[in-house]
């Protein structure tokens, strides 16, 4: 926050002008904290990260109000009349920028699954702070501008003169570069098209699975009960988790720490941490992933499981049982050709023969035809 104040003072070069957008920061953050309570959000890494980013966002609208008011004051208007005139000009843009930011962050809160849980608190925290920032810019900032704002001094000290000189040189250089690029429209268009193609190629090459292939073979579990839950209640939940881990295939060892929170590293009665190590990927942990994906009866889950297992050299099963599981998983993911190939390999217990690919294609077409008939 101190850095934000310093940057504001460096560019506005007047403590009165700096005070107006600086006041919006604590007002917006306190209002955001008040809304977080009914939403059920706590002070955690996600909400704190959102608040930190919001500090740089909430001052923008107030700066627009201050600059517009100063511009009218430089034309000879009084502070109050200048603030009224400025608000008649910038109220629409302030509301528009707020709606644009809300259109970016609010849809993120509706993402499903674990990804949605991770982004929901972060996105809504920034969205609420943006709303309070807009309210401040439409009410508090013009009122403060009409009360305390003044014209910047004509004579500036040595530091501000040097900063203005450097800034003007950088501004002129940027304007010259922009003019040069505008004159060469064809070259800039080809460059932009090349960057777009490169971006699309890189985006398509990124892994799409939620769990990375660099997984180290262990799982960290955060157990969180309601606030003020007793240690006895937490132990009852840990006993159930211990029973689940005993029955789950692919789990080699595990250790449970009751009363310890992984999220903030504190000792609390309503939290616990579980560290579970998995068996090697060529053992039954791989089969467990396959079985769970099949039980989900979802082609998307089966496809994600296949992508997850690709980096573990599972495309060449060493046993007939493993090949059969992979065949079922491929079929569930909507790839009957690969599924039939794996089932054939499981049945014959021999390496896949590429010369039979045509037979698998014919069989796959028959399967697809039966699905269409249904």
Q: Which DSSP string do the residues of 296-341 spell out, in sequence order?
A: TT-HHHHHHHHHHHHTTT-SS-SSHHHHHHHHHHHHHTT-HHHHHH
Q: What is the CATH number of the domain that holds 254?
A: 3.30.70.1430
Q: Is residue 201 part of a domain?
A: no
**pLDDT at residue 339 greater than cutoff 70:** no
Q: Which two tokens stand for residue 365?
A: 């077409």
**Percent residues over pLDDT 70 in the chain:** 71
The answer to whether residues 63 and 90 belong to one domain is yes
**pLDDT at residue 168 greater than cutoff 60:** yes
Q: Is residue 245 part of a domain?
A: yes
The answer to whether residues 94 and 229 belong to one domain is no
The answer to whether residues 49 and 129 belong to one domain is yes
pLDDT band at 197 (very low <50, low <70, confident <90, very high): very high
Q: What is the mean pLDDT of the chain?
A: 76
The answer to whether residues 317 and 338 belong to one domain is yes
Q: Is residue 181 part of a domain?
A: no
Q: Which of 239, 258, 278 is the last residue of a domain?
A: 278
This prediction has a pTM of: 0.51
**pLDDT at residue 98 greater than cutoff 60:** yes
The C-alpha atoms of residue 72 and residue 266 are separated, in whole angstroms, by: 54
What pLDDT was estimated at residue 214? 52
What pLDDT was estimated at residue 1? 63
Alpha helices in the chain (DSSP H): 2-12, 15-39, 45-74, 79-105, 113-138, 140-148, 158-183, 185-205, 231-247, 284-295, 299-310, 320-332, 336-348, 357-373
pLDDT band at 173 (very low <50, low <70, confident <90, very high): very high
pLDDT band at 193 (very low <50, low <70, confident <90, very high): very high
The answer to whether residues 8 and 149 belong to one domain is yes
Q: Is residue 185 part of a domain?
A: no
The C-alpha atoms of residue 18 and residue 159 are separated, in whole angstroms, by: 17
Domain count, the chain: 3
The C-alpha atoms of residue 205 and residue 339 are separated, in whole angstroms, by: 25
The C-alpha atoms of residue 188 and residue 199 are separated, in whole angstroms, by: 16
Q: Which two tokens stand for residue 233?
A: 């209640």
Distance, C-alpha 272 to centroid of its chain:
26
The answer to whether residues 306 and 260 belong to one domain is no
What pLDDT was estimated at residue 263? 79
Q: Which of 240, 263, 278 is the last residue of a domain?
A: 278
Q: Which two tokens stand for residue 148?
A: 């305390």
**pLDDT at residue 174 greater than cutoff 50:** yes
**Residue 357 backbone dihedrals phi, psi, to 5 degrees:** -60, -40
Mean pLDDT to the nearest integer, 11-33: 83
The C-alpha atoms of residue 45 and residue 255 are separated, in whole angstroms, by: 25
The answer to whether residues 22 and 137 belong to one domain is yes
The answer to whether residues 13 and 141 belong to one domain is yes
Q: Which of 117, 139, 154 is the last residue of a domain?
A: 154
Q: Is residue 204 part of a domain?
A: no
pLDDT band at 288 (very low <50, low <70, confident <90, very high): low
**pLDDT at residue 289 greater than cutoff 70:** no
What pLDDT was estimated at residue 22? 83
Q: Is residue 33 part of a domain?
A: yes
**pLDDT at residue 195 greater than cutoff 90:** yes
The answer to whether residues 28 and 149 belong to one domain is yes
The answer to whether residues 115 and 239 belong to one domain is no
Mean pLDDT to the nearest integer, 99-122: 83
Mean pLDDT to the nearest integer, 321-336: 61
Where in the sequence is the domain holding 349, given as residue range(s)?
284-373
Q: What is the CATH number of the domain that holds 11?
A: 1.20.1640.10
What pLDDT was estimated at residue 308? 60
pLDDT band at 344 (very low <50, low <70, confident <90, very high): very low
The answer to whether residues 321 and 337 belong to one domain is yes
Q: Is residue 168 part of a domain?
A: no
CB neighbour burial string for 143-159, b if at least 16 within 10 angstroms, e if fewer: ebbbeebeeeeeeeeee
Summarize pLDDT for 255-287 with one digit per residue, the tens: 888 888 887 788 888 888 888 887 765 554 555
pLDDT band at 196 (very low <50, low <70, confident <90, very high): very high
pLDDT band at 373 (very low <50, low <70, confident <90, very high): low
Q: Is residue 341 part of a domain?
A: yes
The conformation of residue 356, written as its DSSP 8-state character, comes to: G
Q: Residue length, the chain?
A: 374
**pLDDT at residue 97 greater than cutoff 70:** yes
What pLDDT was estimated at residue 155? 78
CB atoms within 10 A of CB 223: 19
The answer to whether residues 130 and 61 belong to one domain is yes
- State the pairing for strand pair 267-278/218-224: antiparallel
Summarize pLDDT for 36-81 with one digit per residue, the tens: 888 888 888 888 888 888 887 888 888 888 888 888 888 888 888 8
């Amino acid at each position: 926050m101190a850095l934000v104040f310093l940057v504001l003072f460096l560019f506005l070069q007047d403590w009165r002008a700096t005070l107006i957008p600086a006041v919006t920061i604590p007002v917006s953050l306190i209002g955001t904290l008040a809304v977080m309570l009914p939403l059920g959000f706590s002070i955690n890494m996600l909400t704190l990260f959102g608040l930190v980013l919001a500090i740089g966002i909430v001052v923008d609208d107030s700066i627009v109000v201050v600059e517009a008011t100063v511009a009218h004051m430089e034309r000879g208007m009084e502070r109050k009349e200048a603030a009224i005139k400025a608000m008649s000009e910038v109220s629409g843009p302030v509301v528009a920028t707020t709606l644009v930011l809300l259109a970016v962050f609010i849809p993120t809160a509706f993402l499903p699954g674990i990804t949605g849980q991770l982004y929901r608190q972060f996105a809504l925290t920034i969205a609420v702070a943006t709303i309070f920032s807009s309210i401040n810019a439409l009410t508090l900032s013009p009122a403060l501008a009409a009360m305390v704002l003044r014209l910047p001094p004509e004579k500036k000290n040595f530091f501000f003169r040097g900063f203005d000189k450097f800034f003007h040189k950088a501004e002129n250089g940027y304007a010259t570069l922009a003019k040069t690029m505008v004159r060469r429209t064809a070259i800039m268009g080809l460059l932009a098209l090349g960057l777009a193609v490169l971006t699309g190629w890189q985006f398509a090459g990124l892994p799409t699975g939620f769990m990375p292939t660099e997984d180290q073979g262990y799982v960290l579990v955060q157990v969180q009960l309601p606030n003020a839950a007793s240690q006895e209640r937490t132990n009852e939940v840990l006993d159930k988790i211990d029973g689940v881990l005993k029955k789950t295939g692919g789990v080699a060892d595990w250790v449970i720490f009751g009363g310890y929170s992984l999220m903030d590293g504190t000792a609390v009665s309503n939290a616990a941490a579980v560290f579970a190590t998995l068996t090697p990927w060529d053992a039954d942990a791989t089969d467990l992933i396959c079985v769970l994906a099949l039980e989900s009866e979802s082609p998307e889950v089966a496809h994600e499981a296949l992508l997850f297992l690709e980096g573990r050299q599972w495309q060449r099963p060493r046993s007939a049982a493993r090949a059969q599981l992979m065949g079922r998983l491929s079929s569930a993911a909507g790839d009957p050709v690969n599924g039939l190939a794996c089932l054939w390999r499981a049945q014959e217990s021999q390496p896949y023969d590429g010369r039979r690919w045509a037979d698998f294609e014919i069989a796959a077409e028959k399967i697809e035809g039966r699905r269409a008939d249904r």
